[in-house]
Every structure is written in structure tokens, then in C-alpha cells.
């Protein structure tokens, strides 16, 4: 007789589903100020504890606590606050514009605004970010023209990408923002290559790579870790763990009883796990990682723990696979509310100022949208010419494309 | 959910239900999960949620999590594990969320899945089905619109199939799952909810208005190597598959050219006999597909027609295809080979 019981396939499940509240204890949180801050030349292996605990600075009352609570110029905090608010206002108006069929598609970053914003402020503008489709806050922090962004979203005659890309797949080289790919994870290893090039050329620029929890399952993620470690590439490897990848929970990507930051330690990379909804923690961890990279100490992997508060995209309905009000119960709260509370505590912000800035930014976004819509929208047909479709396939248009363009009659 | 009609399908003598392509595909997987314990279904978002196009909705509840489950976002991982499961004796049916995302799995598909039988002299096989939505027409931009069929038809050992209606979708998917060879099963996503003839500015026609939406409720299959004539005609043979079947049909009506439209259904292996018989009858041939032109599947079709029908041809064979550019977003309808372009080609070959 066989002494073994039949094997069973383990398929991870989230604790919450529609009609059943999520138990967030799987997140294993620490209190603000609890986690140590090592020197920037720490041995990667000695960050193992930092890859499983959670670095937090802001407590529930808006106080900044512990070793990661650096002295930050209140101007930077105010700047961050504005960029986060602008991102949120922009997103909510663009979701409406999508519903009005002015654009084909949109993806918002609701609840994740602190991560791109604070890291962008910790980087130099000449450093290159290799983002996913959910880091529009980097563009906001770098004050990219809203009109140009909206023209891209509307695929209109002034779309800088000539109507070729889905909305939100921006490319803004001047603002250190690499062209976004629809194919997940490809940018992660490219960022490592860009950082290697900076080292090859004896430059001091660094790269910032971005990926979602779900996409870490792709081979390009693991390959990026190997290359970053081997060549000690000056790169920050950001994993945005917003708990969901469309309908699949982060455990399906391999987050069950381990962390994404833990992957870095296994590859010989200094790794941190950080509260992504805590602007101060994001800024402090990003500064730590930029210093390491710029001083030739190598890559840092940072897992940002956050929550995808909105649908995956305008094509998605999350109430089909998770509790409808889950964000309200997410223990790390709302990054904007938390920074606001801190700034108010510092006497650097007030409810009136919050209202005034919100109104001002709303007006700015509305004005930009109006200006952009004058150049057309996908629905009114004022789109880049069909002839432009044949450009940029090659540097010079080869004969076969010229003939095809003629065949189209343009 | 489905609209049960009391009609009986003459071919299978079964009761039929009016289905969309999505419902027909789901029904095929349901039938096969029921009939064969070795069938497992997995892929990104296909488990609890039922797939981003809802093709596997309800199947996890019915068959359990070890038969229908979510996979991590790794196409190479999905296909690689499916090859391993196939080697054990399972019959995995995996979903690649969009055909545009099969590239990370290329090595597993080309060097492994397709060649297991050959390199082990039949010791190991890959009885896998890889489902992938393909094609444009939904403003999906360059990474949700591609038609990569020629990348598969060039690989020895793969079968490549593309249905154009609910009846064929179910029958071909069942045949693919039962087939001991690996099958690339391409689903034209613009056809999921209705036949689409390329007139994007007109109201959408639902499947319920189309005779091929009467789908037998139980088990049946459609052979993996047989084309079908969807519109008989005498003037010119149109070779096509997927969405452009409807474009070709409407172009024939609009131009008055009496085209014989052949829906290939199985791209490779190919039903050469049906093609050759038709071209010998009409003496003219136009190939239509949505994929890019250069080295597209149309190039193979043109070569075969001239090899087998040279002395019967009265005009050069024309190709109407997507342009040799990435699939653009805003200019989608200038890219898509619609009825105007197909109609013009039909008229051109008739003028020779
Ligand atoms: C190679 C590839 N496979 C699948 C997809 C389809 N897809 C787009 S986004 C997504 C989920 C990504 O989740 P995550 O990485 O967690 O990022 P998030 O959306 O949460 O920001 C999937 C499966 C894709 N774009 N590319
Ligand atoms: Mg995610």
C-alpha cells in the first residue's frame, strides 16, 4: 500500500471576495519608526530583515517617527502634495472623458500617487524612469505639459505620439520618462541596461525601473535582478505591490508567505519593503536608494506596499472579483490624506489651503483639457493623418512602405 | 443565459442554443472538461474571474480549482508548465490573454512544444491547445490587435486554427483539445460578440442574427483540416479566415463581383483541395488577411495557388492585408483591410 496521501494542487486564494471582507493581516505591518535604517554601503545580505518588515515613517496622527524620518524641506512636501493632488484630479477627469468616448481607454493610479511623486522628487530630472502605465505621478511631479498629455490621451492631431499608442502609453524623453510598452516587464531589464550604459560611459545618471506585483512573474523581472546584481548597475528596482493584477491577487504572482522585496536579497541586491502610501517613507527610501546607486554601491530593490483603489482600467469591473469597498479597509490608508495630516501638524498646510489648491488644480486640468480638445478627440475624427502611420517604422521610409502608402491613396 | 431554441442541428441531430462566439468557446471547454478528466484550463485571470473576455466564466465553480485556475503573468511559464503537464498525460488548454503577449513564450512554443514528438521519436507529445484572442478593430493599439498567425504556421509541428463563427469555434476547439498535436487556436476578438464586416460606422450585428450561432448543445467536432465555402461564386476565389471572411462577403455584395469566399478555418495543415478546386473554377484569386503583408500567411497561399493552378489563372493573384507597420491606435480603420480595399481588389482582378 502507498503510505502517501494523494497530492493536491495548491492554488492561492485571497481572503476577501465579493460579499466577504478581506483579512489584511497577511500584510504583516510594522508601526511607524520601528524599522532600522542601515548605512548606504550595507551588504545586500544584511538587508534581509528590511525586505520582510515594513518601513513606515508617518504614524496614525501624522507624526514623522524613527530613523527614516529625515529632515525634508517643507517645500518638497508641499510640492509633493500638489503633484499628488494633480495626479488624482487629472485621473478622475480623464476617466470621465473616457466615459464620454473622447478617448478609447484610460488607467488611473488612484491610491498609488505617493510612490511615483516622491521618487520623482528624490531623483534628478536627467535620471531615466522606465515606468509602467500607472506612474503618471512622475510626469506630474516633473511638471510635464498637461495639454500634451491630454493630446496623447485623445489621440488627436497634436498627439506627440501621432496616434500610434493606446492612451496613457506616454513617452516623454525630456522629462526622463521612457516610452511605455504594452508588454509587461520588458522595461524592467531595459532600465538595468540604461544604468549599465551610464556606468560604461562614466556618467553619474541613474535609472529607475518600475513593475507591478503581477508582472514580476515574467522572466524579464528575474533577468533584470541578475543583470543588476552582476554589473552592480546604478538602478532602483521598484516593485509596486498594489495587491492586484487585474483579477488576480498578489499571491498568484508569488507573494504568498513571502515578499517581493525578498526576491532581491536572494539575488544579492539590497532590498527594502516600504509603506507606499506614506509619502515620507517613499521619499526617504528613494533618497537612500538614489545615493547608493549614484555612489556606485549598486542596485536597490524596493517593494512598495500599496493598494490599487480603482479598477484595473476603464475596461475592468473589480466588483466581480473583490469586495467593492476594499480600499476603505486597506490598513495603509490614503497617501494624500496622510501627507495632508502631516503637513497640517507641521503648520505647513490647512484645510483652506487644501480647498484652494484643489480648486486651482481642477481649474488647471479643465483648462488644459479644453485646450487639448481644440485639437480634436478620437470621437470627432480629428486624429493624426493616416499617412503618418507609415513613418518611423524605419529611419527612412523604404520603398515597400511608400508603395503601401500610395495604395492607401494618400 | 443562453437562448435555448428547439431547433435540431441536422449534422449532429442535437438540440441547439443560440450562442455568441464567447459562449460557444465556453461550451466547448465545458464539454471537454466533462468528458475528459485530463483536460485542465489555466491562464491569466481565467479562474475565479473567468477571463478578461469571460470565455471561462463559471468553469472554475463547476469543475474546481485544480481543473480551472489562474496563472501568474508569465507566458513562458504558462506554456512551459503546460508542456510538462502534457508530458505527464494531461491535456492543457491555456489562454494567452492576447496573442500580442505570446512572444515571451516563443522558445517554449517553437523549440519545445512543437518538437517534443519529433525529438523523442513519439515518446513524449504535446497535446496542448493555446487559445489566444487576435486581431484588431477594438482600438486596442499595437499590443492588443496583432494577428501573428504566420509566426505559427512557419513552425513545423504546430497546427494553427482560426474560427470565424460560433458553430465552428466550438467544433474546432473540441477537435483541437482532442488532437494529440499542439494547436494554436486564434480567436478573432472582433467576432466575439457578432459578425463584423469592416463597416465600423454601422451598428453592430449580434450573433443571434447569424445562422452559425445555432450551436449544438453537446459534443461535436469540426475537422481541423477542412476549409469551407461561405459564399459560392464563379468570378474570383477569395481565400481568407477570421474577421475578414465577413469583409470579403460584404465586398462581394457591394461590388457585384460574384466571388467565391473560402474560410480556411485551419490555416495549417491546409485544405489545399478546396482551394485548388475553386481557383481552377474561377481562374482568379484574391487573398485577404488582417496581418501584415510581407511574409504573411497570404504569401504562402499565393505560392501554393500559383504552384497548383498556374495554367488556370487569368489574372495576377492579389493580396489585401494590414500594412507593414505596427497596428496603429487612432488610424485603426486606415490600417484594417476593410470592404473598400477588398472591393477594389475584386474589381481589379476582374478587369484583367
Ligand atoms: C506580456 C503581457 N502579458 C499580459 C498582459 C496583460 N495585462 C496587462 S496589465 C496586467 C496586469 C498587471 O498587473 P500588475 O503587474 O500587478 O500591475 P498593476 O496593473 O496592478 O499596476 C495584465 C495581465 C500584458 N500587458 N503583457
Ligand atoms: Mg498590481
The DSSP code sequence of A323-377 is -TTHHHH-TT--HHHHHHHHHHHHTS--HHHHHHHHHHHHHHHHHHHHHHHTT--
Residue A231 is given by DSSP the state T
Q: Taking CB atoms and an 8 Å limit, are B142 and A165 in contact across chains?
A: yes
Q: How far is B211 from chain A (nearest CA, A)?
A: 30
Indicate whether A10 belongs to any domain.
no
Same domain? For A324 and A405 the reply is no
For residue B162, the number of C-alpha atoms closer than 13 Å in the C-beta half-sphere is: 33
The answer to whether the CB of A134 is under 6 A from ligand 1 is yes
Question: CA-to-CA distance for A46 and A204, rounded, in angstroms?
Answer: 26
Q: Which residue of A has its CA nearest to B322?
A: A404
Q: What is the mean pLDDT of residues B193-202?
A: 96
Q: Taking CB atoms and an 8 Å limit, are A217 and B331 in contact across chains?
A: no
Q: Find chain A residues with C-beta within 8 A of B66's C-beta.
A: 8-9, 11
- Report pLDDT for B10: 87
Q: Find chain B residues with C-beta within 8 A of A220's C-beta.
A: 104
Atom 12 in ligand 1: residue holding the nearest Cα? A245
Q: Is B1's pLDDT higher than 70?
A: no
Residue A213 sits at the chain B interface (C-beta within 8 Å): no
What domain count does chain A have?
Answer: 2
- Report pLDDT for B11: 87
Closest C-alpha among A177, A178, A269 to residue A231: A269
Indicate whether A304 belongs to any domain.
yes
Question: CA-to-CA distance for A132 and A386, rounded, in angstroms?
Answer: 28
Q: Find chain B residues with C-beta within 8 A of A252's C-beta.
A: 70-72
Same domain? For A275 and A218 the reply is yes
B34: CB partners within 8 A, 6+ apart: none
Same domain? For A141 and A180 the reply is yes
Which H helix or E strand runs over A322?
A: none
B127 SS3 class: coil
Same domain? For A166 and A299 the reply is yes
More confident residue, A127 or B5: A127
CA of A256 to the centre of ligand 2 (A): 14
Q: Find chain B residues with C-beta within 8 A of A217's C-beta.
A: 72-74, 77
ipTM of the complex: 0.97
Residue B219 sits at the chain A interface (C-beta within 8 Å): no
The answer to whether the CB of A219 is under 6 A from ligand 1 is no
Q: Which of A104, A244, A255, A313 should one mutate to test binding to chain B, selecting the residue with the greatest count of B CBs within 10 A?
A: A104
Cα–chain center distance at B165: 9
Q: How large a percentage of chain B has pLDDT more than 70?
A: 98
Residue B200 sits at the chain A interface (C-beta within 8 Å): no
Closest C-alpha among B310, B312, B309, B331 to residue B322: B331
Same domain? For A355 and A390 the reply is no
Question: CA-to-CA distance for A124 and B206, rounded, in angstroms?
Answer: 54
Q: Which domain holds residue A203?
A: 40-379
Q: Taking CB atoms and an 8 Å limit, are A247 and B331 in contact across chains?
A: no
Indicate whether A35 belongs to any domain.
no
Confidence of residue B271 (pLDDT cuts 50, 70, 90): very high
- Which ligand neighbours the alpha carbon of B98 most closely? 1
Same domain? For A365 and A391 the reply is no
Phi, psi dihedral angles at A55 (to 5 degrees): -75, 125
Q: Which residues pair with A302 in a beta bridge?
A: A238, A272
Same domain? For A79 and A225 the reply is yes
Preceding peptide of B251 cis, ω within 30° = no
CB-CB: which of A169, A245, A378 is closest to B73? A245
Same domain? For A259 and A407 the reply is no
- Report pLDDT for B3: 54
Closest C-alpha among B47, B156, B135 to residue B94: B47
Question: CA-to-CA distance for B90 and B78, rounded, in angstroms?
Answer: 14
CA of A216 to the centre of ligand 1 (A): 10
- Report pLDDT for A298: 98
Put simply, the chain A residues between 344 and 383 with a CB less than 8 A from any chain B CB are 378, 383
Atom 19 in ligand 1: residue holding the nearest Cα? A245
The answer to whether the CB of A166 is under 6 A from ligand 1 is no
Q: Find chain A residues with C-beta within 8 A of B48's C-beta.
A: 13, 17, 247, 321
Same domain? For A204 and A257 the reply is yes
Provide block-wise average pLDDT over 10 residues at a time, chain A (410 residues). Answer: 92 95 96 98 98 98 96 95 98 98 97 98 98 98 98 98 98 98 98 98 98 98 98 99 98 97 98 98 98 98 98 97 95 98 97 98 98 96 96 98 95
Active-site hit among B144, B200, B289, B329 = B144
Atom 3 in ligand 1: residue holding the nearest Cα? B101
DSSP code per residue over A22-72:
--GGGG----TT-S----TT--GGGGHHHHHS-B--B-TTS-B-STT----
- Report pLDDT for A70: 85
The β-bridge relationship of strands A270-275 and A248-249 is unpaired
- Report pLDDT for A410: 85
- Report pLDDT for B5: 61
Residue B80 sits at the chain A interface (C-beta within 8 Å): no
Same domain? For A392 and A369 the reply is no
Q: What is the CATH number of the domain that holds A118?
A: 3.40.50.970
Cα–chain center distance at A38: 25
Q: How far is B287 from chain A (nearest CA, A)?
A: 16
Question: CA-to-CA distance for A2 and B302, rounded, in angstroms?
Answer: 60
CA of A183 to the centre of ligand 1 (A): 8
Same domain? For A169 and A109 the reply is yes
- Report pLDDT for B29: 98
The answer to whether the CB of A245 is under 6 A from ligand 1 is yes
Indicate whether A53 belongs to any domain.
yes
Same domain? For A129 and A171 the reply is yes
A117 SS3 class: helix
B7 SS3 class: strand
Question: CA-to-CA distance for B164 and B265, rounded, in angstroms?
Answer: 7
Question: CA-to-CA distance for A10 and B284, rounded, in angstroms?
Answer: 57
Atom 21 in ligand 1: residue holding the nearest Cα? A212
Indicate whether A277 belongs to any domain.
yes
Q: Is B7's pLDDT higher than 90?
A: no
Indicate whether A154 belongs to any domain.
yes
The answer to whether the CB of B69 is under 6 A from ligand 1 is no
Indicate whether A403 belongs to any domain.
yes
Indicate whether A3 belongs to any domain.
no
Is B144 a known active-site residue? yes
Amino acid at each position: 500500500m502507498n503510505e502517501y496521501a494523494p497530492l493536491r494542487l495548491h492554488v492561492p486564494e485571497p481572503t476577501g471576495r465579493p460579499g466577504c471582507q478581506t483579512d489584511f493581516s497577511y500584510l504583516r505591518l510594522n508601526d511607524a519608526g520601528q524599522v532600522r535604517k542601515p548605512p548606504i554601503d550595507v551588504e545586500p545580505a544584511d538587508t534581509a530583515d528590511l525586505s520582510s518588515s515594513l518601513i513606515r515613517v508617518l504614524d496614525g496622527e501624522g507624526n514623522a517617527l524613527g530613523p527614516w524620518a529625515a529632515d525634508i524641506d517643507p517645500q518638497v512636501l508641499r510640492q509633493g502634495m500638489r503633484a499628488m493632488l494633480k495626479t488624482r484630479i487629472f485621473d478622475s477627469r480623464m476617466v470621465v472623458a473616457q466615459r464620454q468616448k473622447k478617448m478609447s481607454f484610460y488607467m488611473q493610479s488612484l491610491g498609488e500617487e505617493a510612490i511615483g511623486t516622491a521618487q520623482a522628487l528624490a531623483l534628478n530630472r536627467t535620471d531615466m524612469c522606465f515606468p509602467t502605465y500607472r506612474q503618471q505621478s512622475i510626469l506630474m511631479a516633473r511638471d510635464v505639459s498637461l495639454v500634451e498629455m491630454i493630446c496623447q490621451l485623445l489621440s488627436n492631431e497634436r498627439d506627440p505620439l501621432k496616434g500610434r499608442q493606446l492612451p496613457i502609453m506616454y513617452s516623454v524623453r525630456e522629462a526622463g520618462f521612457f516610452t511605455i510598452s504594452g508588454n509587461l516587464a520588458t522595461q524592467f531589464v531595459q532600465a538595468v541596461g540604461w544604468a549599465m550604459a551610464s556606468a560604461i560611459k562614466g556618467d553619474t545618471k541613474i535609472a529607475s525601473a518600475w513593475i507591478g506585483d503581477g508582472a514580476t512573474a515574467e522572466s524579464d523581472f528575474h533577468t533584470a535582478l541578475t543583470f543588476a546584481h552582476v554589473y552592480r548597475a546604478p538602478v532602483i528596482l521598484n516593485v509596486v505591490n498594489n495587491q492586484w493584477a487585474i483579477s488576480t491577487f498578489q499571491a498568484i504572482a508569488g507573494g504568498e508567505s513571502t515578499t517581493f522585496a525578498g526576491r532581491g536579497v536572494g539575488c544579492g541586491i539590497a532590498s527594502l519593503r516600504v509603506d507606499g502610501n506614506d509619502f515620507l517613507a517613499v521619499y526617504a527610501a528613494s533618497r537612500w536608494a538614489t545615493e547608493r546607486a549614484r555612489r556606485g554601491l549598486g542596485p536597490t530593490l524596493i517593494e512598495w506596499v500599496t493598494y490599487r483603489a480603482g479598477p484595473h482600467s476603464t475596461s475592468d469591473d473589480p466588483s466581480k472579483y473583490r469586495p467593492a469597498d476594499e480600499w476603505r479597509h486597506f490598513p495603509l490608508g490614503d497617501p494624500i490624506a496622510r501627507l495632508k495630516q502631516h503637513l497640517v501638524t507641521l503648520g505647513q498646510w490647512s484645510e483652506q489651503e487644501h480647498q484652494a489648491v484643489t480648486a486651482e488644480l481642477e481649474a488647471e486640468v479643465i483648462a488644459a483639457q479644453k485646450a487639448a480638445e481644440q485639437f480634436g478627440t478620437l470621437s470627432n475624427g480629428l486624429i493624426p493623418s493616416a499617412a503618418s502611420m507609415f513613418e518611423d517604422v524605419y529611419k527612412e521610409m523604404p520603398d515597400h512602405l511608400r508603395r503601401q502608402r500610395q495604395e492607401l491613396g494618400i | 443565459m443562453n437562448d435555448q431554441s428547439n431547433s435540431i442541428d441536422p449534422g449532429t441531430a442535437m438540440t441547439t442554443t443560440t450562442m455568441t462566439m464567447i459562449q460557444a468557446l465556453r461550451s466547448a471547454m465545458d464539454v471537454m472538461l466533462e468528458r475528459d478528466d485530463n483536460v485542465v484550463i489555466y491562464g491569466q485571470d481565467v479562474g475565479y474571474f473567468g477571463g478578461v473576455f469571460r470565455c471561462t466564466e463559471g468553469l472554475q465553480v463547476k469543475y474546481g480549482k485544480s481543473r480551472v485556475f489562474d496563472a501568474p503573468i508569465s507566458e513562458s511559464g504558462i506554456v512551459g508548465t503546460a508542456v510538462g503537464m502534457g508530458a505527464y498525460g494531461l491535456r492543457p488548454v491555456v489562454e494567452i490573454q492576447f496573442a500580442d503577449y505570446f512572444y515571451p513564450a516563443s522558445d517554449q512554443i517553437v523549440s519545445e512544444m512543437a518538437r517534443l514528438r519529433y525529438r523523442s521519436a513519439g515518446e513524449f507529445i504535446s497535446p496542448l491547445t493555446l487559445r489566444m484572442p487576435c486581431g484588431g478593430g477594438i482600438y486596442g493599439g499595437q499590443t492588443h490587435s496583432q494577428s501573428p498567425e504566420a509566426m505559427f504556421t512557419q513552425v513545423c509541428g504546430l497546427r494553427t486554427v482560426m474560427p470565424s463563427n460560433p458553430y465552428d469555434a466550438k467544433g474546432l476547439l473540441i477537435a483541437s483539445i482532442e488532437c494529440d498535436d499542439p494547436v494554436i487556436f486564434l480567436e478573432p476578438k472582433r467576432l466575439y460578440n457578432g459578425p463584423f464586416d469592416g463597416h465600423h460606422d454601422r451598428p453592430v450585428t449580434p450573433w443571434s442574427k447569424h445562422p452559425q450561432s445555432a450551436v449544438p448543445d453537446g459534443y461535436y467536432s469540426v475537422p481541423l483540416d477542412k476549409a469551407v465555402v461561405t459564399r459560392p461564386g464563379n468570378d474570383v476565389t477569395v481565400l481568407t479566415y477570421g474577421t475578414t471572411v465577413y469583409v470579403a462577403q460584404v465586398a462581394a455584395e457591394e461590388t457585384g463581383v460574384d466571388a467565391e469566399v473560402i474560410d480556411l478555418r485551419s490555416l495549417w495543415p491546409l485544405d489545399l483541395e478546396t482551394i485548388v478546386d475553386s481557383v481552377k473554377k474561377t481562374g482568379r484569386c484574391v487573398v485577404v488577411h488582417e496581418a501584415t503583408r510581407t511574409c504573411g500567411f497570404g504569401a504562402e497561399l499565393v505560392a501554393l495557388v500559383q504552384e497548383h493552378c498556374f495554367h488556370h489563372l487569368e489574372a495576377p493573384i492579389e493580396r489585401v492585408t494590414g500594412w507593414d507597420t505596427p497596428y496603429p491606435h487612432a488610424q485603426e480603420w486606415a490600417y484594417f483591410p476593410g470592404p473598400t480595399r477588398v472591393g477594389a481588389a475584386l474589381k481589379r482582378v476582374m478587369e484583367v
